[in-house]
Structure 1
Amino acid sequence: MPIDRKDWAQRFPEFLVEAQTLLAKSEECVSHLQLISNDKDAIDCMRGNLLKLSGRAEALALEAISEFSLHIYSLLDLSQPQVDLHEQALQALKQCFTLMAWQLELIDHKTGQLSLDGSEQAALLEAFAAEVGQNQVQPASKRLPLSTFSARQV
């Protein structure tokens, strides 16, 4: 269902504030993980923030942000035994968050357009995937877990 431009323009400022808050919390988790390696609670917090951000971005048809968030989310999957958030992995993750924050600032507030080629996102995702022991980046599922349905409401 297409988003009404007037509705989008009203909802975008709130989304932007929430997205920046979620990214800031995720960056705090990275700082925490630099002190306490592989802390499950910090990783779960980041995953929750990324999932919420993806859902909010999807609701506003901000596909590049939604998909980038989902890719990072899937790379932080703790069920994968090889995931190890050592210092280089955390630096790669931090670069992903920095790019996402920059991209949020570049979204046109009137049109919702984000002009970018996906090469920088892809390069950072590949670097992060390599650091956490995954040879290639799997496409993130567009379908969010059912348990997050309420988190997707905007």
Structure 2
Amino acid sequence: MDSTPLHNAAVAAFLQDAQVLLARSQECLQHLELITNDPDACHSLNAALDTLARRAVALDLLEVAHHALALQRLLAPACAQQHLHGTSLPALAACLTLLDWQLELLDPQTGRLDMDTEEQRRLLAELATTLGQPTAQLCADCQEADTFCAHPHAQDALAEQSLGAADRQH
């Protein structure tokens, strides 16, 4: 990762924007707790996580990007199927809380996060279970090494999601 002042400024700007996006996500969660499966809240939550993941990928903030992308991948079908309610909401809240911690603990100089991945995996697995979906998996090499998947297919998935969203808007 580049640690030049320009990159440090970009990470600092990302962290400010990420807090806004996280606050929006938490507001959407609160809205969903009041109005089950509200499509506008689902759409806004998905958009906030998408933006957060894209910006994190662009800055090579892999841990944050992975968590935001995994959340988005779990939530998108749940929103489409109007299946984001009940026990899934506390599980989602726990995932957003962890994302908040990740943003708080992200080293603004290096862009790295010195946290193990076990809690993230557990929370994502719990959310997947409450949504009736398979747990988001890392590629086999990354699972074995206990690292976040930084292979091109993660960025390809972001590009595919973007194209799919653009197609749906037209």
Tell me the TM-score range normalised by the shorter chain: 0.7 to 0.9
Deviation at 1:80, TM superposition (A): 7.9
Is residue 27–residue 97 contact of structure 1 (8 Å, CA) maintained in 2?
A: yes
Name the structure 2 match of 1:18: 17
Identity %: 38
Q: What does 1:1-154 align with in structure 2 at a 5 Å threshold?
A: 3=2, 5-78=4-77, 84-139=83-138, 142=154, 143=156, 144=158, 145-147=161-163
Q: Distance in 1 between matches of 2:5 and 2:16?
A: 18
Q: Which moved more, 1:90-99 or 1:77-86?
A: 77-86
Aligned residues: 149
1:77-132: per-residue Cα shift (whole Å, max 9, x none)? 23787662223101100110100111111111222221111111100000000011
Unaligned runs of 5+ in 2: 139-148, 166-170
Q: Distance in 2 between matches of 1:60 and 1:138?
A: 22
Q: Which moved more, 1:139-148 or 1:70-79?
A: 139-148
CA RMSD of aligned residues (A): 2.5
Deviation at 1:75, TM superposition (A): 0.5
The one-letter code matched in structure 1 to 2:50 is L
* Compared CA separation, residues 37 and 125, structure 1 to 2 (3 A): same
Q: Which moved more, 1:75-84 or 1:107-116?
A: 75-84
Q: Distance in 1 between matches of 2:101 and 2:78?
A: 30
TM-score by length of 2: 0.79
Q: Distance in 1 between matches of 2:60 and 2:164?
A: 18
RCO higher in 1 or 2 (8 Å CA, sep ≥ 6)? 1
* Compared CA separation, residues 3 and 116, structure 1 to 2 (3 A): same
The one-letter code matched in structure 1 to 2:11 is F
